[in-house]
Structure 1
Amino acid sequence: MKKILLLSLLLLSVFLNEAMAQTKTITGRVTDATTGEGMPGVTVQLKGTSTAAPTDVNGGYSIAVPTTGGTLVFSFIGYTNQEIAIGNQTTINARLATDARALGEVVVTALGIERQKKEVGYAATTVTEEVITRAAPVNVATGLQGKVSGLNITTTNSGVFENVKINLRGIRSLTGNNNPLLLLDGVPSDINYLSSLNPNDIDNVTVLKGSSGAALYGPDARNGVIVVTTKKGSLDEKPVITLSHSTQLTQISFFPKFQEKFGSGGGGEYIPYENWSWGPEFDGSEVLLGDPLANGNEQRVAYSARNDRKKFFDTGVTTQNNVSLAIKDFYISLQDAVVKGIVPDDKNRRTGIRLNTGREYGRVKVGLNTNYIQQNYNVFDDASMASWNSSNNVGLNQGLMNLIFNTPAHAPLLNYKDFENNEFATYNNYFNHYGINPYFALDNWRRDGKREDLITNLDLSFKATDWLSLNYRAALTSQNISERTTSKGENPNSFGSPRGVKTIPGTVSERSFRNIRLSSEAFANINKEINEDFKINAVVGTYVRQDQARDTRVGATQLVVPELFNISNRVGQLTGSSPERTSRLFSLYGSVGLSYRGWANLEVTGRNDQTSVLAIGNNSFFYPGVSGSLVLTDAIGALQDNNILSYLKLRGSWNQTGNADIAPYLLAATFGQPAGFPFGSLPGFTANNTTYDANLKPEFIESREIGIETGFLDGRINIEATYYNQDMDDQIIDVDVSSATGYTKAYVNAASFINKGVELDLRITPLVELGDVKIDFRANATYNTTEVTKIFEGLDQLPIGGYTTAANYAIKGYPAFVFRATDYNRDPEGRVIVDASTGMPTQNPATQIFGRTMPTWIMGFNPSVSWKGINLSVLAEYKTGHYAYHDIGNAMAWTGVSEATASNSRQNFVFPNSVILGADGNYVPNTNVTINGAENFYTGIYRTVASNFITSAASWRLREVALSYELPSSLISRQKVVKGVSVALTGRNLFLWLPKTNVYSDPDFTYSPGETNFGTGNSTGVTSGNQAGITNSTINPPVRTFGGSVTLTF
């Protein structure tokens, strides 16, 4: 028996050796022909056999084939198969191109359901993780900028939170929320979470631009939907570990234009303690700065410009460290992102963990997605300084930037950083009588906090038959913010008090904010082939959600022990508030889709919502929709196998969307406790000043769109075009009412406006291909316009926000929104009318209408070049057709630091293009009546006429540049630990080009007063205020970011 066993083993060994001698191993990498990125999940198969292997997360593969050769077939959904003869090769790389006949083959639509794009009757654009993370953005929103037509993402400030404002196809509400819905792994979520998500966790983002998805997503989808799908695991049986690190530097890219000819003073005379720069011209002599100190010491400086203002800001540093583990249906990731801002001492640290897992048990499938994100931040608190200013009237309402900008050019600003040891930098000894040391302000007023986001959902699916699935999804999203704002405080001494130095009390305020959304959703999905020609896809379901929010604040306005920040360490009563809100939504929805041979598709949708924010009787509303598509290249035989026109699809949709965009309890009588009512410290309550209307009903949007998608030259050239038109009716707005009613405002269904536009997308891949060199080109363009058709009976305009001299308005017959601002008196030819004796311009007593505040055109251009693992991608963006008001220019004119205030060397001058009213009633050109004194002009009427600070908001910007290199698999395959190595140099917003008239700031930056977590927006996330086109000195200067990254895969 033993001999037989030994003989068998010997024969088996010989057979195996012979078999091994007849095979060899082929390795290689599969990349996307457009992006050059590795493609995971590609099937690599030996043609004519069942031998196959999938590519790993970086596109690498290994497969055993006969030594006699054969052919490898590389296939992936949505791409053209590629066949490569093996021959004597042992390393074979493949590049797969998009299949024009499967243009964007699969898109994620309602409820996270995947559908073939040719079946979808509305505009949908998918962006992959590689495209989003190419330039190492800190959040997903900035990674989408300029890459999707119809999507306008503006960075509204350059702080450590990198706040953004997001609009899809313009606006759909005059006074309400215009943010799109975030659908995160199938769960409707607050758009604010988009600023917290780790971009490296994203698998892809699909942008549904219209409101066609609202029937299945709910009323929040009226502004479009951003569908985010996160990574779920790896197709590889072995674990895939990815490590990445990036470091980026941030520097100011644009700074206001300052005059550098005149120093502090007034009336042309030097005043050493003045923050006005209306003194004499610089001459380089030594001058006294500030008052002599109590000890007799004097600060003396050269009377010449130093240009310290820009140097006040730091070079910001952002580091991101990421690690992830993926295996089959399990994915876990960790991220640590640290942002140090350009404002000294401002910082934010974001730490996140994500767990996505799932398992199939026969017909049952279970999935769990959980993401916990914590941000710890410490930043300057402009709001607290403004609050102190409001009670002390010391001119600080313009914020920290105002303190910096209005520092005279000859003042050694950087020397005042050490305000504790430099006797000329202390609070009491600072040279400026009308402002404080900005370094002291940074240290004194701080906001220190922690934000925690938890997003989790559980999915259950039961495959009842091969065509019917029953699904249930429960989700929890929670946001908790706990923060403390403090003021160390300072008292005037015997030297400071006579100089007008004010007391800064030590204060502390504690805040605890919590917002929780619970949702439950059950739906059935039918996907059945009726026969060879017809297929039906239907969904019916129910959705319930509850939103709860509480914002508790308590504070002490005068501390006993300095810098002991405890609310019990106080004199006097505590201040505080604790509003709460709860709302519920119950929905029934359904859709039925019918497809004929895949090329004729029709879908009908409907949804009924019941909301708690409206009164019974008006709180239930239904809205339907219909969409369809026709793929002519599949339907018409003559168009098939056409080398020129390879794909042609027509699509269209119509739908209504209902919505109640109001806060909870708005229709109920609520009460507040004002200070001093009824008198003294006795508590009392008063009714709010807004009346409620039980007949208030939902507002509705009616949307129509048509589109065409084409592919030419076997998918080398792809063009997509969409036209949309939307009618917004019964807009809920607040209007003024007579105080005799007992109220001052009332909410009514009144306003209406239309919104229409065109979206264009172009993709040429390749544009040029010469050997290993490949050049691709992508571009997108968006045109959008609006017109207000109705405001309210007897009312033709509605203020949206801004200043008394310049504000956003909705005005009947004009776009939403336009500027209404003060202007000069002008003759019929537009020339400025001046006073015949003083030469001073005169001001029109009525405000005038200026241009729109939102862009008409947005264009993105994205060329890319690849060569042997080296990839260069450039993204440029252009916006035009709108205007911006720069209140920062107003503030700079007041103190005489703006470039304009040094015009004509501050000599008497004739106002340009001005006229004088003659005795005969005709206007004659003014050629000799001069303005006496530039100071009077620039601190007077020049500031009150807001049109002086309205400029074109057009801009060209270099959004992204990314240069990457992936080590070839031939180098990596020599060892078995590291599967992939890539390095990259990245830059964002490297250059900004503005019209010559805009010498102030980035027009994308927008001042949005009243933005809070509890109200209309989030100071650490996405801005939802409707105000547009207004910049001021509460906004940091725009920045550019550049750095590098390295990624290792194991």
Structure 2
Amino acid sequence: MKKKLLLLVVFGLFQISTIYAQEMTVTGTVTDDSGVPLPGVNVVVKGTSNGVQTDFDGNYSIEAGKGQVLVFSFVGLQTAELPVTDDPVVDVTLAPDATELEAVVVTAFGIQREKNNLPYAAQQISGEDVNETRVGNVASGLSGKISGLQITQGNAVGGSVNVVIRGASSLTGNNQALFVVDGVPLDNSNTNSASQQTGGGGYDYGNAAADINPDDIESINVLKGAAASALYGSRAANGVVMITTKKASRGLNISINSAVIVGQIDKSTFVEYQQEYGAGRSDPQDRDGFLYFDVNGDGGNDLVVPTFAPRSWGPRYDPNLMVYHWDAFDPSSPNYLQSRPWVAPENGPETFYETSVSTNNSIIIDGMVGEEGSVKFGYTRNDERGTLPNSRVLKDIFNLHTSYNITNTLTASAMVNYSQIEGRGRAATGYDGGRNINSVFRHFNQTNVDIQRQKDAYFRTGRNITWNWSDPTRPEGLRPAFYNNTYWTVYENYQDDTRNRVFGNASLVYNPTNWLEFLARISVDQYDESQQERRAVGSSGIPSYSRFDRNYNETNYDLLATAERDLTEDLALNALAGINLRRNTISSVSSSTTGGLVIPNLYAISNSLGTIPAPIETFRPRAVNGYFGGLTLTYKDYLTLDGTLRRDVSSTLPSNDNAYNYYALSGSWLFSHHLADFEWLSSGKFRANYATVGNDAPWGSLQDIYSKPDPFGETLLFSLPDTKNNAALKPETTISKEVGLEMAFFKNRFGFDASYYHTNTVDQIMPVAVSSATGYTSRFLNAGEIENKGIELSFYGAPIRNTEFSWNVNVNFTRNRNKVLSLYENSSNLQLASFQGGVSLNASVGRPYGELQGATYETIEGQRLINDNGLYAITNTTSNVIGNVNPDWIGGIHNSFRYKNLSLSFLVDVKKGGDVFSLDMLYGSMAGLLPRTAGTNDLGNPVRDAVEDGGGRILPGVTADGTPNTQRVTITSNNSAFEPQSEFVYDASYVKLRELSLSFSFPESLVPSNVQDLELSVIGRNLWIIHKNVPYADPEENLSSGNVQGYQSGSLPTTRTLGLNLNIKL
């Protein structure tokens, strides 16, 4: 594969032509009718391949001969042609083009349509706006910029991004949007573990859309509703993110980008320890806090930290107390057999994190090959080292685009994208023992541990010397009781992974007439990935090694015919018909050692100390044949009626009933056509549509497939799956209704796009719990209905626009409400995930999808009930609704300012509402780590002091007879979690300064003559969480992408980044 790619690259570069030598240099400035300079205007010498683009200030310079004609073109403006005379300066003003004022958008199968006649919701954004701050994952660059699109991104280096359009429509299936690049549908799965998908621990390996090169994007168009995406079939039921990549332009063009970005953790999103008390459990096993025995040999008992106690309910810090810490029992330590004052450490857990450093370098070379061909080659390297020590994700991406006009009616084109991603030391997420470093810091720890001393111990010895000795009084007890040294974890128990991916297409376009076009295309998306996880000899727990290899392959064959013709002077026709054949195969193999490792530091399955288990192998083929057509009628350019129909035949449905249909009917009325006398109204359009989209079954859900475990002796064994399959499944169906209003004012300086939508997904294919007497735990059935309805609003404006200063603003707002209307048979609740800590994620009939359930307070007339022991009365059941993960609304405000050569832009990202359960806060309270477990009471005394000494707390509430509580209780480790789970559910609202960019475009006088544009930018991401309610964490932080949201365990701190980016165009 790499050799083929290299040959394509060499061939492409060889074909790029040089610019023809001309007689004179013509310069000038291009402006619009308001006098504002226009960057990016194409300036071409007519009849030649010689062309350039204007720079940021609208200036251009081109070689041309007297008598030749310069052609100036720009989307939405009239094309101008001016002859070259003896005057070397040619300034041009481009007027608005009434026929193109509404812009062109890319729809299904890459078909371009005028936005003014588009009868469904679609929102477009430029590649520059997406990649303004040099994002590593293209999905991250969409946050807050598209209405209806909810982006949730974690803080792990190379981590996954959740991309959901108009809410969750599937109870247990995939709710992610489909990504399509130049007609190639891309897999965007996240291969996280089954445990992680239901709230457990694992590594976040990122989502596959991270393989898309942000530097290669020309524009992104988001198709939001079923009517917009119906032509793509069942996989587009959740909406489509259509990506159009950059193509070659005339002349030889070279663009170079280089960025260096550094980052540090946002301490407001990391745990804060109380600074008053150290290690201890404050219970009968550890009554006095310290251990007592003779360390220095003087015959007296010395004070020793209880290293086996992973809590901080111990003695109050006192610099007059000399105490023996964990490193006093390490013979290699400079502090061996030495005591030190009992004080809070100088280096808390926040010092564990390093400064992240990322470099992003890219080059794009494009040009014409003669008069009929073009080539574009691009290469990007993104090297990201995270704040977690020993974490790194290295990404190399190559792009090649070629096209050639074989004849006047036949054009061939090809695109190939090759990427290689190598990850090491990715962050573990969720409740995962010692692998997730942040669980160690946030859950059960000792506030007296100095991180620098842990670091010194590891790098001094290379051994797992940690603070939690199982018994420091005996030599055999000098081993981890439960947690490894954190540096041992990241340098010895790390994971690594690789993914090699190729996607692309080859197509032929035939235009026998000026109104008819035929397209034949084959597209491929193929990748191999490998994930390795290890636990070194000397770690807490059994040493191990595991490996997971996966291959994904999808091929699409498309035949498409489109016709565009005026039937009469007033009536225009657009028609299309096509076939799509999709073939998928997914195969994987995984295995792991048992019983430990024979040879330390040798990570191979064959190094298993125990019997090597049989590998787990899967092979999942899928075939879908799609037949589709569409018809659009436009009357006098203001009335549009659009209909589409698709029929799919799927291999995952019963052979006697494996076809399903979906259709869309849409209409729009450009009412501004009748209001031409209102000069302030540039355009106004009303649209409405109705659509149904089908969805087939998961692979392997029709017939039971036996598993083959290890044999018993020489006897082969086979076992049934846990889920009973169902040969009578029928397709899911999503029914969507939408109305919208678009208006623009004052020559398109201001405008908005508003939508209301209502969708229902019925006959959902889901595993339903059955009696264990059947031999199964669940069975696939068609059951359940979920409803989504909401509004979307996008506003844009240019309040100020003149020759020296301009201000542009874009505002996006989304409000979605969903409800589970029914489940299977008489069931009223479906548990989606069960979290550590006694909280679950659920779908309940009549309630929103994604509610949190758990224990809460018993109350009397709204007042919390206090038991006879002075503690809260807590419900006996955990089925109480204690939260809802869905936001009330989301939005974004993007402002951009330009003053002469200086530009400033920033994005404020907003989420209002939605809840998150924090296991970190629950366990951090139980462990006595957090400030809420210390401090003083209403008497001014330490709350941890005994009640008889004036300590303790009076919990607010009432007793059984309704009188206010007056009983004071001691706060200890045994009752530190006197609150139920509902106390640790927080409002996940936030207001973030998501992006910031300050750019300076160097004037022509300061750059070499062969440089078209030179721009230096200061860029930043996640610089400021302006508002949040979740303590010590980022409200957006989650396990990974997928349906399991609203849960934080071992949360990673947010990384604030700031960097420099240099862009050069030659």
TM-score tier by shorter-chain length is 0.7 to 0.9
Q: Are the equivalent residues in 2 in contact too, given 1:906–1:934 (CA < 8 A)?
A: no
Specify the alignment match of 1:149 in structure 2: 147
Q: Are the equivalent residues in 1 in contact too, given 2:26–2:90 (CA < 8 A)?
A: no
Report matched runs for 1:894-973 at 5 Å. Answer: 894-904=926-936, 905-907=942-944, 908-918=951-961, 923-926=962-965, 928-938=966-976, 940-942=977-979, 945-972=980-1007
DSSP 3-state at the match of 2:859: coil
What TM-score, normalized to structure 1?
Answer: 0.87
Pick from 548, 572, 581 the counterpart of residue 585 of structure 2.
Answer: 548
The CA deviation at 1:503 is 5.8
**What is the rounded CA distance, in whole Å, between the counterparts of 2:262 and 2:700 in structure 1?**
46
Specify the alignment match of 1:871 in structure 2: 903
Q: Are the equivalent residues in 2 in contact too, given 1:707–1:720 (CA < 8 A)?
A: yes
Pick from 189, 196, 219 the counterpart of residue 204 of structure 1.
Answer: 219
Q: Are the equivalent residues in 1 in contact too, given 2:44–2:70 (CA < 8 A)?
A: no
The CA deviation at 1:186 is 1.2
Specify the alignment match of 2:11 in structure 1: none
Specify the alignment match of 2:636 in structure 1: 597
The CA deviation at 1:303 is 2.3
The CA deviation at 1:686 is 1.1
Q: Are the equivalent residues in 1 in contact too, given 2:326–2:466 (CA < 8 A)?
A: no
Query: Is 1:1028 matched up with 2:1029?
Result: no
Specify the alignment match of 2:42 in structure 1: 41
The CA deviation at 1:773 is 1.5
**What is the letter of the counterpart of residue 545 of structure 1?**
R
**What is the rounded CA distance, in whole Å, between the counterparts of 1:779 and 1:596 in structure 2?**
32
Query: Is 1:264 matched up with 2:299?
Result: no
Specify the alignment match of 2:685 in structure 1: 649
Specify the alignment match of 2:1058 in structure 1: 1042
Q: Cα 1:60–1:326, aligned 2, differ >3 Å: closer, same or farther? A: farther
What are the Cα deviations for residues 209-265 of structure 1, in whole angstroms up to 9, with x where unaligned? 11213331111111111000111211x2x2111111001112112213332221111
Pick from 711, 729, 733 the counterpart of residue 762 of structure 2.
Answer: 729
**What is the letter of the counterpart of residue 484 of structure 2?**
I
**What is the rounded CA distance, in whole Å, between the counterparts of 1:34 and 1:160 in structure 2?**
45
Q: Are the equivalent residues in 2 in contact too, given 1:43–1:76 (CA < 8 A)?
A: no
> Which is worse superposed, 691-700 or 561-570?
561-570
What are the Cα deviations for residues 9-28 of structure 1, in whole angstroms up to 9, with x where unaligned? xxxxxxxxxx99xx983334
Specify the alignment match of 1:6 in structure 2: none
DSSP 3-state at the match of 1:1006: coil
Q: Are the equivalent residues in 2 in contact too, given 1:790–1:812 (CA < 8 A)?
A: yes
**What is the letter of the counterpart of residue 179 of structure 1?**
Q
**What is the rounded CA distance, in whole Å, between the counterparts of 1:844 and 1:722 in structure 2?**
45
Specify the alignment match of 1:178 in structure 2: 175
> Which is worse superposed, 533-542 or 796-805?
796-805
Specify the alignment match of 1:12 in structure 2: none
Specify the alignment match of 2:1016 in structure 1: 983
What are the Cα deviations for residues 9-64 of structure 1, in whole angstroms up to 9, with x where unaligned? xxxxxxxxxx99xx98333466999998831436799xxx9999663687653368
Q: Cα 1:100–1:713, aligned 2, differ >3 Å: closer, same or farther? A: farther
Q: Are the equivalent residues in 2 in contact too, given 1:983–1:1044 (CA < 8 A)?
A: yes
Q: Cα 1:423–1:187, aligned 2, differ >3 Å: closer, same or farther? A: closer
**What is the rounded CA distance, in whole Å, between the counterparts of 1:34 and 1:901 in structure 2?**
64
Specify the alignment match of 1:668 in structure 2: 703
Specify the alignment match of 1:629 in structure 2: 668
Pick from 645, 654, 677 the counterpart of residue 615 of structure 1.
Answer: 654
**What is the letter of the counterpart of residue 454 of structure 2?**
Y
Report matched runs for 1:754-833 at 5 Å. Answer: 754-765=787-798, 767-769=799-801, 772-803=804-835, 805-829=838-862, 831-833=863-865
Q: Are the equivalent residues in 2 in contact too, given 1:667–1:693 (CA < 8 A)?
A: yes
**What is the rounded CA distance, in whole Å, between the counterparts of 1:67 and 1:775 in structure 2?**
39
The CA deviation at 1:654 is 0.7
Q: Which blocks of at least 5 consecutive residues in structure 1 are unaligned? A: 1-18, 387-394, 492-501, 1009-1022
Q: Are the equivalent residues in 1 in contact too, given 2:220–2:242 (CA < 8 A)?
A: yes
The CA deviation at 1:513 is 1.1
**What is the letter of the counterpart of residue 325 of structure 2?**
L
DSSP 3-state at the match of 2:230: helix
Q: Are the equivalent residues in 1 in contact too, given 2:565–2:574 (CA < 8 A)?
A: yes
Specify the alignment match of 2:358 in structure 1: 318
**What is the rounded CA distance, in whole Å, between the counterparts of 1:602 and 1:265 in structure 2?**
73
**What is the rounded CA distance, in whole Å, between the counterparts of 1:784 and 1:32 in structure 2?**
41
Specify the alignment match of 1:168 in structure 2: 165
Q: Are the equivalent residues in 2 in contact too, given 1:250–1:316 (CA < 8 A)?
A: yes
Report matched runs for 1:441-590 at 5 Å. Answer: 441-490=489-538, 504-505=542-543, 507-557=544-594, 558-575=596-613, 576-590=615-629
Pick from 326, 340, 363 the counterpart of residue 290 of structure 1.
Answer: 326
Q: Are the equivalent residues in 1 in contact too, given 2:52–2:62 (CA < 8 A)?
A: no
The CA deviation at 1:92 is 6.9
Q: Cα 1:239–1:409, aligned 2, differ >3 Å: closer, same or farther? A: same
Q: Cα 1:455–1:911, aligned 2, differ >3 Å: closer, same or farther? A: farther
Q: Are the equivalent residues in 1 in contact too, given 2:442–2:924 (CA < 8 A)?
A: no
The CA deviation at 1:410 is 2.5
Q: Cα 1:994–1:948, aligned 2, differ >3 Å: closer, same or farther? A: farther
DSSP 3-state at the match of 2:227: coil
Q: Cα 1:376–1:864, aligned 2, differ >3 Å: closer, same or farther? A: same
**What is the letter of the counterpart of residue 774 of structure 1?**
S
**What is the letter of the counterpart of residue 649 of structure 1?**
K
Q: Which blocks of at least 5 consecutive residues in structure 2 are unaligned? A: 1-21, 189-206, 291-304, 369-373, 470-479, 937-941, 945-950
> Which is worse superposed, 162-171 or 639-648?
639-648
Q: Cα 1:718–1:86, aligned 2, differ >3 Å: closer, same or farther? A: farther
Query: Is 1:345 matched up with 2:345?
Result: no
Pick from 223, 232, 243 the counterpart of residue 238 of structure 2.
Answer: 223
What are the Cα deviations for residues 600-644 of structure 1, in whole angstroms up to 9, with x where unaligned? 11111000011111112331101111111111122x1xx115321
**What is the letter of the counterpart of residue 106 of structure 2?**
V
Q: Are the equivalent residues in 2 in contact too, given 1:752–1:788 (CA < 8 A)?
A: yes
Specify the alignment match of 1:247 in structure 2: 260
Q: Are the equivalent residues in 2 in contact too, given 1:823–1:847 (CA < 8 A)?
A: no
DSSP 3-state at the match of 1:657: strand
DSSP 3-state at the match of 1:223: coil
**What is the rounded CA distance, in whole Å, between the counterparts of 1:210 and 1:556 in structure 2?**
47
The CA deviation at 1:568 is 3.0
Specify the alignment match of 2:718 in structure 1: 685
**What is the rounded CA distance, in whole Å, between the counterparts of 2:1021 and 2:650 in structure 1?**
42
Specify the alignment match of 1:378 in structure 2: 424
The CA deviation at 1:890 is 1.8
Q: Cα 1:364–1:32, aligned 2, differ >3 Å: closer, same or farther? A: farther
What TM-score, normalized to structure 2?
Answer: 0.85
**What is the rounded CA distance, in whole Å, between the counterparts of 2:36 and 2:926 in structure 1?**
52
Q: Cα 1:1031–1:930, aligned 2, differ >3 Å: closer, same or farther? A: same
**What is the rounded CA distance, in whole Å, between the counterparts of 2:493 and 2:955 in structure 1?**
45
Q: Cα 1:833–1:67, aligned 2, differ >3 Å: closer, same or farther? A: same
Specify the alignment match of 2:771 in structure 1: 738
**What is the letter of the counterpart of residue 691 of structure 1?**
K
Q: Cα 1:691–1:874, aligned 2, differ >3 Å: closer, same or farther? A: same
> Which is worse superposed, 456-465 or 369-378?
456-465
Q: Cα 1:870–1:668, aligned 2, differ >3 Å: closer, same or farther? A: same
**What is the rounded CA distance, in whole Å, between the counterparts of 2:338 and 2:654 in structure 1?**
68
Q: Are the equivalent residues in 2 in contact too, given 1:258–1:897 (CA < 8 A)?
A: yes
**What is the rounded CA distance, in whole Å, between the counterparts of 2:128 and 2:330 in structure 1?**
63
**What is the rounded CA distance, in whole Å, between the counterparts of 1:887 and 1:1027 in structure 2?**
15
**What is the rounded CA distance, in whole Å, between the counterparts of 2:803 and 2:459 in structure 1?**
66
> Which is worse superposed, 708-717 or 903-912?
903-912
Q: Are the equivalent residues in 2 in contact too, given 1:53–1:62 (CA < 8 A)?
A: no
**What is the rounded CA distance, in whole Å, between the counterparts of 1:261 and 1:625 in structure 2?**
65
Specify the alignment match of 2:367 in structure 1: 327
**What is the letter of the counterpart of residue 325 of structure 1?**
I
Query: Is 1:189 matched up with 2:186?
Result: yes
Q: Are the equivalent residues in 2 in contact too, given 1:840–1:911 (CA < 8 A)?
A: no
